[in-house]
Amino acid sequence: MSSERGTTSEPGRNVAAPGSQLPKAYVPADVESRIYECWLAADVFAPDGAGANSEPGKEPFVVIQPPPNITGALHLGHALTLTLEDVMVRHARMEGHPTLWLPGLDHASIAAQYVLDKIIAADGETRESLGRERYLERMWTFINETREVMLGQERRLGASADWSRLRFTMDEGSAKAVRVSFKQLFDEGLAYRTEALINWCPGCRTSVSDLEVIPTPETGTLWTIRYHLVNETTGAPDPDAWIAVATTRPETILGDTAVAVHPEDDRYRDLVGRKVRIPFVDRDVSVIADAVVERAFGTGAVKITPAHDKDDHQTGKRHGLPMLTILGDDATISGSGTEFDGLDRYEARKRLVGELEAMGDLEGARPHEMILGRCQRSNDVIEPRLKTQWFVKTEPLAASSLEATRGGRTTIVPTRFEKTWEHWLTNIHDWNVSRQLWWGHRIPAWYCPDGHVSVSSEIEGPAACDTCGRPASELTQDPDIFDTWYSSGLWPFSTLGWPDDTDDFRRYYPGTVMETGYDIIFFWVARMMMLGIHLAEKPPFRKVYLHGLVKDPTGQKMSKSKGNIVDPLEAIDQTGADALRFALLNGTSPGNDQKFSSERLEDGRNFANKLWNATRFVLGARPASIDDARASRRESPDPAQLGPAEQWVLARAAATVAAVDRAYEDDNFGEATRVLYDATWSQYCDWGIELAKVRLADGSLPDAAREATWWSLVSALDTYLRLLHPIMPFVTEALWASLPHAEDDPELLIVARWPRVGKAAAATDGVVDEVLTLIRGIRNARAEAGIEPGRRLAASIRAPAEMAGVLSALQPAIDRLARVDSSLSDAAATEADPSGRLAVLAGRVSASLDPAAGDSAGASEEVAARERQRLEKELAEVQARLDGARSRLANPRFTERAPAAIVEGARKLEAELAEQSARLRAQLGA
């Protein structure tokens, strides 16, 4: 294997030598950066890296990430995205797939300009004062700073992305893809330039797409205004005849070109076709009939301003009305030819209303709840207005996207988002891609003095006008740039070399899974899908995985303005990257929002610490008979030497592999996390290690037995660390390095093999569980009776003969874990316990404990009373369950219709409960 980019043997040694002792405390900061350096040095991130170690014949696994905006620091949402993607990639890598996770950053044109505008404002500068060229220079300086910060943050989180392929949506590869794709769309008639009503943000001074307009509820005013009818003979407005219109935007009166009423509205039937005079502009316009008018709303008559309202625009088009623009780019009144020209839209509104009132034409004004469109970026009220801009025709693209999801070529996780997807793509409008901004890809369209359009995919532009052949020198390029999502939409293939026919493109397109938050399903996912199918001829990914949003502990969306942001870096500093990743995964499910709190971080930190200490114990517990040399190679525990506890430990590990595999199949990483937390903590540590301690400490056993116990612990721990690696990569890598490895293991866990589901659980599995229940029962009885934890009690344990083998093997463990000195007997030899003893029932096993202190006879009154109480409680529970089981069995419809296995189970249960009930009664002397 090549080692030009770093040796494959060094890194492991840098982590820790196998068998070496671990420091007493786990300090993530001491481990994480060192581990990351090891991965980098081993060159394992690239699918074809020197240490990538993928299995021949395995399909590449390609994860597509939303490149974060290059505007500054990462937030928790990014951390969640990166964590999920990293989990997927690490899992696939361990399964032997060549994995491609191509990292990148988005130039975020409008968002970046918004941020930069604020920064330069602090220096007293503006976009205009700098000019296009200097502004863009300033932008490059800015993003060159943020870039490194952001990439550093991604690494600290553990992202195992292929940094050698880092891309940026403003690099030349993206630029070329933008030009070529747009040229193609233009040639196909899918990109066109037209004057249309667009969403104008007066603050950002650009148009924005429908998606960037946030409908915001607001209490406005609904004014009722009289438009006087024009006398048909004199041509003068009639002071006594008018039609009253209702409006929330009086300033648009200046652009009115009609008044509409409902065609079947008897109140206005006679007025249709008449003229009314628009105040201030003294324009006579027609009263028209159109079914869009809601008769019940306002006065039932609507003023029509086709150049400044979406509905009115449609109405205007239907009726061939003139469309008068009366607002400038800065949202001041402009071109109305009135005294209001130059006034801000709201100032003009105020004055207009005042004057109307003075004229006696203001009939009324009342508060009105309404929805206002505001700019997603600047929060300015969006102004619909006419502009000549570039659009992408979406219907055919949307149709093939729908085909891809309906046909299952691309699936969406969780599936409920398919409905949203369907609805949006079915009702999609053409996409306005022009932006009147500077930071972004310039639209590759040139215009000649005769108005001909030439679109070119060449970096220098067209040599001459495509239509009339005028030379390039006479052409001018469109000053606008593309919507930032246009280049993002090309991401899955522009990053692989498209439009060139590259090896990367052939090998890694389409991607396996595209992972992102559901909040950008339209902005980004749908656009990638539409453009990918059309331009790269295949849906860009096979699976869409959508995660939920990270909210603050009260369920509020995190935002800078609310001040409830959690900085992922701070979290990592405090508790480690593994803890953060754990916190982001544990207790979550696909597509569902999560509330993030510091408690969850602590859970993760505690868990990492637990793993650390468990491993530390295992390393320190190695039997002396295994010397350092032997301990450097992992051995399988000798099957002949396995006791019930060892079999149990191995069986639990095997069951965990199966459960985790199932969780991955279901794309449920929260479930995988939960399963592993429980398996390692509540099973492996609480029982596996505790049981093993007994045997490891038993000098009377042959070396081979103790060795088997230790190898069992090592084997299970090895499995758990592998399973946990995608979730908590740093601590698992560090710990795994210190464990003995198998012959064919690589140096680093990151490229170690994912565990395979082992053989079926050992036959003793269920019996061991009964013993654990017994131990718990004894502990409970002791605690309830108030017996000092340290005191050893004499216990006689009874169990059916078939359990005798396991029981005697585990007797020392029972004694240690339950603090008893036990004697075993056959269950058949049962007789009522002498009074004053504690009775413990655990399924088929029972125990009788003597609570008396070693030197004094008989239990105290208090202990006896508490014991009686406990037994009564237990009896009540058993009895309730027994009654339930009996009534179920007494129901013939149950016994007839329920599956045989269920009925059989109920019978067995009934028998068991009856037996327990009887024993408890006997014990209580009832």
List the interface residues with RNA, window 890-909 (CB under 7 A): 891, 893-894, 897-899, 902, 905-906, 909
Instruction: Write out the two tokens for 668.
Output: 């449920």
Q: Are 285 and 261 in contact (CB under 8 A)?
A: no
What does each C-alpha distance from 58 to 53, 74, 94, 101, 253 come to in angstroms? 11, 34, 12, 16, 67
Minimum distance from residue 419 beta carbon to RNA (Å): 5
One-letter amino acid at 292 equals V
- Cβ atoms within 10 Å, residue 130: 18
Minimum distance from residue 287 beta carbon to RNA (Å): 14
The CA-to-CA distance between both ends of the chain, in Å, stands at: 77
Q: Which is nearer to RNA, 406 or 595 (CB)?
A: 595
Region near RNA per CB under 7 A, out of 391-399, 413-421, 456-464, 637-645: 413-421
Minimum distance from residue 658 beta carbon to RNA (Å): 16
Q: What are residue 611's DSSP bridge partners?
A: none
Site string for RNA, 142-181 (x = CB under 7 A): ----------------------------------------
Hey, CA dihedral for 735, 737, 742, 745, is it positive or negative?
A: positive
Minimum distance from residue 66 beta carbon to RNA (Å): 17
Distance of alpha carbon 504 from its chain centroid, rounded?
27
Minimum distance from residue 423 beta carbon to RNA (Å): 6
Q: Which is nearer to RNA, 507 or 610 (CB)?
A: 610
In this chain, which of 29, 371, 463, 832 binds RNA, going by CB under 7 A?
371
Minimum distance from residue 686 beta carbon to RNA (Å): 4
In this chain, which of 177, 246, 490, 713 binds RNA, going by CB under 7 A?
246
**158 in the Ramachandran plot: left (φ > 0), alpha (ψ -120 to 50) or beta?**
left
Q: Are 820 and 837 in contact (CB under 8 A)?
A: no
In this chain, which of 668, 719, 732, 764 binds RNA, going by CB under 7 A?
668
Candidates 623, 614, 583, 761; CA nearest to 689 is 614
| 676-705: contacts with RNA (CB under 7 A) | 677-678, 681-682, 685-686, 689-690, 693
In this chain, which of 267, 269, 419, 907 binds RNA, going by CB under 7 A?
419
In this chain, which of 36, 135, 508, 522 binds RNA, going by CB under 7 A?
522
Q: Supply the angle between the helices 568-575 and 76-94 in degrees, to the nearest 10.
A: 60
| 571-590: contacts with RNA (CB under 7 A) | 587-589
Q: Which is nearer to RNA, 340 or 523 (CB)?
A: 523
Q: Which is nearer to RNA, 191 or 382 (CB)?
A: 382
Q: Is 885 in the site for RNA (CB under 7 A)?
A: yes
Q: Which is nearer to RNA, 140 or 297 (CB)?
A: 297
Q: Is 302 in the site for RNA (CB under 7 A)?
A: yes
Peptide bond into 414 cis (omega under 30): yes
Minimum distance from residue 775 beta carbon to RNA (Å): 7
Length of the chain: 926
**706 in the Ramachandran plot: left (φ > 0), alpha (ψ -120 to 50) or beta?**
alpha
Minimum distance from residue 853 beta carbon to RNA (Å): 16
Q: Which residues contact 58 (CB under 8 A, 6 or more apart)?
A: 95, 96, 97, 98
Minimum distance from residue 246 beta carbon to RNA (Å): 4
Q: Is 367 in the site for RNA (CB under 7 A)?
A: no
What does each C-alpha distance from 761 to 177, 228, 651, 807, 844 come to in angstroms? 55, 90, 5, 18, 21
**What is the Cα–Cα distance from 727 to 228, expressed in whole angstroms?**
72
Minimum distance from residue 260 beta carbon to RNA (Å): 8
Q: Residue 481: helix, strand or coil by DSSP?
A: strand
One-letter amino acid at 616 equals R
Minimum distance from residue 420 beta carbon to RNA (Å): 6
In this chain, which of 779, 868, 886, 921 binds RNA, going by CB under 7 A?
779
Minimum distance from residue 594 beta carbon to RNA (Å): 5
In this chain, which of 6, 77, 103, 300 binds RNA, going by CB under 7 A?
300
| 259-298: contacts with RNA (CB under 7 A) | 292-298
| 579-638: contacts with RNA (CB under 7 A) | 587-589, 592-595, 597, 599-600, 602-603, 605-606, 608-610, 613-614, 616-617, 620-621
In this chain, which of 13, 132, 134, 423 binds RNA, going by CB under 7 A?
423
Q: Are 616 and 590 in contact (CB under 8 A)?
A: no
Site string for RNA, 555-574 (x = CB under 7 A): x-x-----------------
Minimum distance from residue 621 beta carbon to RNA (Å): 7
Q: Are 777 and 57 in contact (CB under 8 A)?
A: no
| 437-456: contacts with RNA (CB under 7 A) | none
Helix (H) or strand (E) holding 924: helix 900-924
**What is the Cα–Cα distance from 44 to 8, expressed in whole angstroms?**
9
In this chain, which of 370, 757, 804, 864 binds RNA, going by CB under 7 A?
370
**What is the Cα–Cα distance from 688 to 338, expressed in whole angstroms?**
87
Region near RNA per CB under 7 A, out of 49-57, 208-216, 228-236, 731-739: 208-216
**What is the Cα–Cα distance from 684 to 561, expressed in whole angstroms?**
45
Which position has the token pair 């974060």? 68
Q: Residue 857: helix, strand or coil by DSSP?
A: coil
Peptide bond into 499 cis (omega under 30): yes
Q: Is 320 in the site for RNA (CB under 7 A)?
A: no
